[in-house]
Amino acid sequence: MKRALGQPQSASRTPLTPKVLSRAEHGISRDDISENALKVLYRLHNGGYQAYLVGGCVRDLMLGLHPKDFDVVTDATPEQVKGLFRNCRLIGRRFRLAHIVFGRDIIEVATFRGHHQSEEQPETLGKQNEDGQILRDNVFGSIEEDAERRDFTINAMYYNIADYTVTDFADGMSSIKNKRLDLIGDPHTRYREDPVRMLRAVRFAAKLNMTIGKDSADAIHELHGLLANIPAARLFEEVLKLLVSGQGLATYRLLREYQLFDQLFPQLKPLLRDNDSRENQFIEQVLINTDNRINTGQRVTPAFLYAAMLWYPLEEHCQKLMLEAGLNHHDAFSVAINDVLHRQIQRIMIPKRFSTGMRDIWHMQPRLAKRFGRRAYQLLEHPKFRAAYDFLLLRGQIEGGELLELADWWTQFQDADANDRKAMLNKLRGGQPAPRKRRRRRPKRDSSAPS
């Protein structure tokens, strides 16, 4: 099947030389593989199908890490997989996948991918746009074709449950040894097929402490604008993988180095030209704190992270509205929140459950400065107080001055007892006691009036 003139090539076919590693050579033990993944592998194998672990889990096991997920690949079609497992559901349109559900644990099973330009497969099963981006990919093939279509050399290693060997198709072991991340095939073609691979390159480089190979890195500098073609909903999940991984700071710095961060948060681009800017320092401190929380087993919320990313664009836009439209701060702040969020969701679709949390954190910032009377106690009881206080504290650490004094005041007020809190509030009023609220007297009842 010939390719039409001017049509982008559907896949970069790179002849691979597989190397089979014995159990003694690769060192992966079934004790390190999840019980549910083993159940899936053995049932596929016993059903007469090929069954392999593939990708990140094999790579991480090679590196002595503990994989979060175990992905399985097979020659069985999604419908055949569903026929073997009662607890299976089929998902996806762009990529048809089988999810085997064990409570909260999900084992993802994919069928070997084939090349789009195949005599055996109908052309309608695979589809690309004019930039070469794959839009639909339900084209099945052999394990060799599947390996050719993997993104990075370190992800083209297959653990075979039949004989416990690992087949290394793209010399991934050398990449691990040299701590270098390389794409399989021509980087320009592979990035055009799926621009998210540029984000994955940065994420793996940060996670595994690797250097992106020169050809793969140069192509990112040329093609980073293709991220504009990625649906905003998909980018939300990708950004979480990037920044809520425990290596958020290292990932952020690489994203900026390769001009990818500008594609994700365009409103921040004019504010991050200087590494010493308060905006950059604030984001880096937020990511340091996020990494520390994740690496110590504490929870983080995307609402806080996104609120931090967009805080200074929000402040700048608020000031602009006050100057140009003559709005007071309260009205300008509310309009700015809507405008900044609207612009951001054109690039990254933020679910409402998180955008609502962002709004709460932002609205609480000016309120935290108004502490007189009962307001301080009311704010302390607000369900979003802790997140708003943490946000204020980070701002104070970066900006200093009155903002840091305000954050320190709230730090003391939280831990103070009832008497100390009253004293702190009296001090705010210059030592004057709080004015007593006058009680309205009820009018005297006229005893002569009829009851």
Q: Which residues of 184-194 are buried (b: 16+ CB within 10 A; e: fewer)?
A: bbbbbbbbbbb
Instruction: Tell whether 28 and 163 lie within a shared domain.
Output: yes
Q: How far is CA 388 from CA 86, 274, 413, in A?
A: 46, 27, 15
Contact residues for 427 (Cβ-Cβ < 8 A; gap 6+): none
Q: Which of 32, 69, 186, 331 is catalytic?
A: 69
Catalytic residue among 71, 168, 171, 291: 71
Task: Choose the final residue of a domain: 125, 158, 183.
Answer: 183
Residue 349 within any structural domain of the chain: yes
pLDDT at 95 (0 to 100)? 76
Say if 292 falls within a structural domain. Answer: no
Which residues in the chain come in under a pLDDT of 50?
Answer: 1-12, 118-126, 434, 447, 449-451
151 is known as an active-site residue: yes
Task: Dig out the tokens for 362 from the structure.
Answer: 């932002």
One of 60, 137, 151, 291 is an active-site residue; which one?
151
Looking at residue 6, what is its pLDDT? Answer: 32
- Print the domain residue range for 355: 302-428
Q: State the pLDDT at residue 279.
A: 97
pLDDT at 15: 76
What is the domain count for the chain?
A: 2
Q: Is residue 249 part of a domain?
A: no
- Confidence at residue 136, expressed as pLDDT on a 0 to 100 scale: 52
- What are the DSSP calls for 212-241, one per residue? EPHHHHHHHHHHGGGGGGS-HHHHHHHHHH
Residue 191 lies in a domain: no
Task: Look at residue 448 and tell me if it is in a domain.
Answer: no
Q: What CATH number did the domain enclosing 316 receive?
A: 1.10.3090.10
* Judgement on whether residues 24 and 170 belong to the same structural domain of the protein: yes
- On whether residue 341 sits in a domain, the answer given is yes
Residue 343 lies in a domain: yes
Domain end residue (candidates: 183, 215, 244) = 183
Identify the domain boundary among 137, 164, 183.
Answer: 183
Whether the Cβ atoms of residue 159 and residue 50 lie closer than 8 Å to each other:
no
Question: For position 70, which CATH number holds?
Answer: 3.30.460.10
pLDDT at res. 115:
74
Q: What is the structure's pLDDT at 373?
A: 82
Provide φ and ψ at 99, rounded to 5°: -110, 120
Instruction: Kindly give the pairing relationship between strand 105-111 and strand 166-168.
Output: unpaired
Q: What pLDDT score was predicted for residue 5?
A: 28
pLDDT tens digits, 14-66: 678 999 999 999 989 999 999 999 999 999 999 999 999 999 999 999 999 99
- Answer whether residue 82 is part of any domain: yes
pTM listed for this prediction: 0.84
pLDDT of amino acid 429: 80
